[in-house]
Structures are given as C-alpha cells and as structure tokens.
Amino acid sequence: MIDIRRILLIMLPAVFFMTQACSTEARAYVRVVQDEEVWWFEDGQGRRFFSLGVNCIGGCFGHAEDLPMESSRRQRIVSFLKSEGFNTAAGWSSPSVWPDFYVADQIYTGFQEERHDVFDDALWKERFEPCIREEVKPFLGRENFIGYFVDNEPRWNPVDIFQFYLSLSGQRPGSRAFTAFLKSFYKGSIQALNREWDCSYGGFEEIPESPPPKRYSTAMQQGVLKAWRNEAAKTYYRRYVSLLRSLDPHHLILGVRYRSIPDLDLFKTLSPLFDVDSVNQYNRYGNLKPEFQALYKASGKPLMITEFSFSGFPEPGRRSMLFVDVYSQENRGRGYKKYVLEAARAPFMVGMHWFFWMDYPKRNESDGGFLPDQNVGLVTTDESWTYGELAEWIKETNREVHAAHAAARSTGPSDPPPLRKSVRRFTPNLDGDTSEWPEQTAVKPSELESLRDAPSLRHTYFISQDDEALYIAGDVSDSHLDQPGGDWAWTGDYLFLHLSPEGPPEPNSPEKLSISIYPGGCPAGAQLRAVRWDGFGKSKAIPSIVAKRFKEGGFSMEAKIPWSSLEDFRPSPASPWMLTIGYQNTNEIYLASWRGIVFFPAL
C-alpha cells in the first residue's frame, strides 16, 4: 500500500521551492502598485520608489552606445547622481550607467503618422515588426528596467491625419478603413456628410483621392476629424503595444511622452493601452497643473513627468524655446524643489525626470541657439562644473520625496464654484487710461502661478463689448517690460484673454479665442499689438487699436479688437463661456489671472 503521507512529505520541499521560484519570477521585474490611494513603482525585491530620473546621462545615446563609457568618468557620474538622490537613468541615457540605476528608455519604429498607413498589414510585417523585435533586445531580462516609452511628442494633428487618409487611393488599406469609418460616422448618409463638409459627393466611393473640404467647421473639427484621428492613433498603438507585450511581457509600457497637456479625447483613447501615462511638461512656475488630476480622473492610470527643467541665464527677455529661464541657480533650485514635491504630494504621480544631464553647447542665435536654453543641465557641456547651488537644492528635495509621496492623499474639490459675470456694453476712449471703466467691467486676479513667494502686485483687468468690437484692458504693476519680439513674444510680458465654451460647443459655433495684448518694451522698437493664437507656434497679428500709459510701478493698457478681425468668432448670447484673463510678468516669474463664466448679452 502506498504511503501518501510519506510521498507528500518528500515532495513538500520541492513544491515549496517551485512555488517560491514562480513567485520570484513573477516579482522579478518592476511593476506599478497602489497602496491605499498612492501609486508607486515596485521592483522585484518589493522596494517601492518614486522615479527620480535624469535624461541623457553621459550624453544622449538612447540604447545604442558604440563604446562603453570610460570607467573613471562613469564612476564620477554615477557617484554624483547617487549623492543627489536620483534613482533612474531616464530616456536616452548611456547604457554604461544602466547597472547602477533603474532604467526607462524609448524605443523606435520610424513611424510617421502623416506618411504611414497604420492599416497596412504589409507595412507592419516588412518594416515595423522587425524594427520592434530589434529594439527590445537590449532590455529583455533586465530586472532594473522599468519599461518602454513607445513615442516622444507625437503630433497626431487631426487635420493632417484626415487629409493624409483622404489622399490615399481607394485600393489602399487605410483608404478602405477611412471610407468604412465615414459610412459609420454619418450613419450611411452621404447627404449628412455633404452638408457638414459643404461638398457634393454622389456616394462614399467618390471620397478617396478627392480634394479636402475648403474649410473645416467647428463641428467637423470637434467631430469627424478628432474621431478619425483617435481611430488611427488607437490602431497604431494597439498593434504596436500588442507586439511589444508579446515580445516582452515583463516590463511596463510607459506611454507616449505627450508634449505638454494632451488633448483629452486622444488621451482617453490611448490610455487603456499603457500601464503609465507620460507627459513632457516644462513649467517655469514649478506648479503641477490641475490638468494632471483631470487626466488621472479620466484614465485611472498613474502619471509621470518625463521632461522638465529650469535654466539660469541671467538676462530676462531672451528668445527661449523651452521658456524655463528663471535667471539664477538659486531659482533653478527653488523650481526643482517646488515642482518635484508638488508631484510627489500627488498620489497619482510616480515620477519626475529632469531634462537633462549636461548643458547644450553654446551657440549663437543666428545658428539656431537660444541663450537661456543652453543652461538646462546639471553640469556644464564639458562636465567640468556642477552647479553647486542647484545641486544642494536637488539633494535636499530628493531626500524628502519618498516620505512626501507616502503621505500623499487626494483632496476633494476645494475651489468655490466659478464666478459668473455678464460682459457689459461699454466703449472706452482708448487712450491708455482705465480710470473711466465702470466697476462692473472689472475683475481682480484670483489665481496666481509664481515660482517664488507670492509677489506684491496691483492688477485689475477689464472686458467689455459694443456692436463694433471687443475691448480688453489692464492696469498692472510691472518693474520692467520684457519683449523678445516677433514670434517669441509669448516668452515676454503680455495681457491675455482666453475664451472657450463652458460645455460642448453648439453646432457651427466658434470653438475658442486666445488673444494676447503686448505692451512693447525691450528690445527698442517693440510695438504694442494684439495677436490671436491658434495653438503652439500658430499666431497672427489682428487688426486692432492698442493704447498704453505708464504710471508709477507699472502701466495701464487698452485694446479694441473689432469683431470683424476675429473672423468666425462672435459669442452667442445664449451660451456661457469660460473666461481666463490675466497678465504674464516675465522677469518677476509669475502669472496672475481671473477665471470665471461669462455671458455676452445681445446688444
């Protein structure tokens, strides 16, 4: 007779060992975990960490380093970063330092959203899939590897995506998918499509390779263009991530590194594909924007900021692509501490990655260089000098991060309901004197973004309308007017107004309005003017009348913006609008604004 108990006793150690081995294998890699409300990265030994990283450690190599870093240099770099409290070799860092840190890196496919048909199986088989298989090889089996960024600042412009697929031959896979999508979107009615596009197609089969619509109405931009953009993006990343997970099921997918706060529709479409969502967010005021909480609420996925920095070029008013110049190493340190600890105190954040290890090489503006942006590193270009004052701030901050994150808790809505206000009828004299403006047209700033302690400011903003124009004015304190000029005015001082529908826009109604009023200043010859902004880098001066008057400690300014110069924008009297009106003070490093809901009564 078989003694079952004896067999079990003999087998038990082996069963225990196998169970432990399986458990170890399951926990050998970094994952994301949530403890109560707080999200963490957790490594294979159960250590939880908030990712404090630096991009391009040792240089921007990515994961392709021709020769290992010289040993003494590697030791010097690793020792410095460890002493500062960094724990992650972030994007594009030298593989030579990987053994000493957690690692997060980007992989590539060579995909261009406005040139490659994501629905083309042959393109995937011949180009993208072989590329992805090669890209993952350096990371397979690495227990200290956090995960993959699958893209960096993709554009996914709805108009460009729409026009690319519209231009394809009807035999192309993308064109067939596009046509099927349009049939579904318009519920099989070519008449509905023609009305919205202002076209005269006889059927959906006529759409491939046809000219684009002459104009894109608000309904099209908010409807079919965004919906198709989302469909194309989802198809690409779903296929990409699916293959990536099959090749490497152990490591995390860290998202696409959006350029600043992403379009919420696109974000909600793509977030289910990733383990973590990543955003490159430069912010010279050092505050975690409330939009991050909105992103988390929409997805339930933890977030990380994968690029941020501050520069310390001493002269305000220079052209700055990154616009993070805060004029001193002390202010760089203050910015680091404020920004990183604000992120650490948010339970949904899991990391902050500084851009980047060394300063940019010195270049003149005529060669495409921008002086403030050269000083964004932890060390100088030749690594001969570390910024000691900045380093002390970083070291002190990084010591506090773990405890700050462990104590993080979400906060309920603390802001009062937005104020509601009617835009009154009033026609000013346009001489720069705001004393005549009625009290009912005035607002005081209620929101402040400031790098340093709250500044002493005296600001009042005004808005009114009449049959002919919209009027904007400001009475502000400013010790020095900064104006880099021309296309770089957004890095200077200005009065601004943003209007957007409070709820979904009405069909064919205007979508938004962003106007900046520039008071001139340095350099000599900078003119007063009004500019309309339609996205990053897209601006145009608009016909307007602007008047300014200096006073002790600042100036006052008035602007007349004719409705005719705003083309399609004229708010409906029945619609509520979210208004933000404020002033950017560049050299004092703050932005002060008022936000509320306004109505434009019929005139």
pLDDT tens digits, residue range 258-317? 999 999 999 999 999 999 999 999 999 999 999 999 999 999 999 999 999 999 999 888
In this predicted model, what pLDDT tens digit does every residue of 376-408 receive, in sequence order?
999 999 999 899 999 999 999 999 999 999 999
d(CA 201, CA 212): 12
Residue 152 CA to residue 500 CA, distance in Å, equals: 28
pLDDT in tens, 74-123: 999 999 999 999 999 999 999 999 999 999 999 999 999 999 999 999 99
Q: Who contacts 386 (Cβ-Cβ below 8 Å, separation ≥6)?
A: 80, 378, 379, 380
Q: What would the pLDDT profile of 314-338 be if each residue is shown by its tens digit?
A: 988 888 899 999 999 999 999 999 9
In 3D, which of 380, 298, 387, 381 has the Cα closest to residue 335? Answer: 387
Q: Which two tokens stand for residue 404?
A: 């700050």
Q: List the structure tokens of 543.
A: 């016909």
Rounded Cα distance, 253 and 107, in Å: 11
Helical packing angle, 388-406 and 329-344, nearest 10°? 10
Identity at 286, one-letter amino acid code: G
SS3 label, residue 353: strand
Measured CA to CA, the distance from residue 90 to residue 97 in angstroms comes to 11
Rounded to two decimals, what is the model's pTM?
Answer: 0.91
What residues does 149 pair with on adjacent strands?
106
Left if phi > 0, otherwise alpha if psi is -120 to 50, otherwise beta: which for 537? left
Alpha helices, DSSP H, located in 271-370? 291-299, 329-344
pLDDT of residue 84: 98
SS3 513: strand
Residue 344 CA neighbour count, 13 Å, CB half: 22
pLDDT digits (tens, 9 = 90+) for 1-41: 434 334 333 343 443 333 333 444 455 899 999 999 999 99
User: Residues 557, 521: contact at Cβ < 8 Å?
Assistant: no
Domains of the chain in start order, with CATH, are 31-106+281-406 (3.20.20.80), 112-251 (no CATH), 419-599 (2.60.40.1190)
Q: Please report which confidence band the pLDDT of residue 525 belongs to, taking 50, 70 and 90 as the band edges.
A: low
Confidence of residue 569 (pLDDT cuts 50, 70, 90): confident
Tally of CA atoms within 13 A in the half-sphere of 76 that contains its CB: 11
d(CA 556, CA 381): 43
Residues 281-317 as b/e (b if ≥16 CB within 10 A, e otherwise) read: bbbbbbbbbeebbebbeebebbbbbbbbbbbbbeebb
